[in-house]
Structure 1
């Protein structure tokens, strides 16, 4: 029984040393900035497209930023970002929101709009990528 305990301790010591050494590097001056995903909560919901029949969308969006400064800037300008995205989505047609290629084109346009807003307000785009966690049209 004692040998089993000694064996378990001997095997777990290198693992705890590895786990503890990883934190020291991240706290150093040369540590890479932290990548974060800023979720726009609640999801964007609205109607789109011309015509008498109403069409709706629901978009769960995450913005990829690097560093706490970028995350703070995005959070500060979230109302303006949300407005810009709602305006973009409301101008779409059914063809521009359905299909994989159309959604990718819409995603890139949404990213450009968000970066333009932040460039105008802060002089820097801050957002590196925009992801649709979920995009539903009906």
Structure 2
């Protein structure tokens, strides 16, 4: 019985929010999301027929100060992502696996931009809230 309680408590520990000395949640360790709004919209691919994409993207960061820095660099991040999306082809957007590779490449490029600008990658993850190609 004691082992079960100890196991239950151990499993619950990672899910508790970081707390500052005054008993409030520590804003430096809070997860926040920066939504790139409006959605990224453009065309991609080559050929006689225009193809369009629309991507609703959120960036996961840790800490309110980090969120502020990422929001400050949003125009540069948006530019980098639009350039990445316009280079895509039907094959790189056709399957769920290909979209996951695109998501990972987008994350790498965003982190690279922020590394150059801030000295740290700042963004923990990049999420496609919605990705439409037509």
TM-score using structure 1 length: 0.79
Q: Decide which of 127, 130, 133 is 1:134's aligned counterpart.
A: 130
Structure 2 stretches of 5 or more lacking a match? 1-15
- Structure 1 residue 98, shift from structure 2 partner: 1.8
Q: Which residue of 1 aligns with 2:68?
A: 72
Q: Hey, what does 2:96 align to over in structure 1?
A: 100
- How far off its partner does 1:50 sit? 0.8
SS across alignment from 2:57: strand
Q: Specify the alignment match of 1:50 in structure 2.
A: 46
Q: Which runs of 4+ in 1 moved over 4 A?
A: none
Paired residue secondary structure (1:47): strand
Q: Deviations over 1:83-117 (max 9, x none)?
A: 00000000000110121100000000000000000
Superposition pairs of residues 30-45 of structure 1, within 5 angstroms: 31=26, 33-45=29-41
* CA apart distance, 1:82: 0.0
Select the structure that is richer in helix: 1
* Shift of residue 131, structure 1, vs aligned partner: 0.3
Could you tell me how far apart the structure 2 residues matched to 1:107 and 1:98 are? Answer: 13
Q: Which entry has the higher C-alpha Rg, 1 or 2? A: 1
Q: CA deviation at 1:26?
A: 3.4
Counterpart Cα distance in 2 of 1:87 and 1:28: 45
Secondary structure at 2:84 match in 1: helix
The one-character-per-residue Cα deviations of 1:7-28 (angstroms, maximum 9, x if unpaired) are xxxxxxxxxxxxxxx99x7343
State the alpha-carbon separation in 2 of the partners of residues 110 and 78 from structure 1.
14
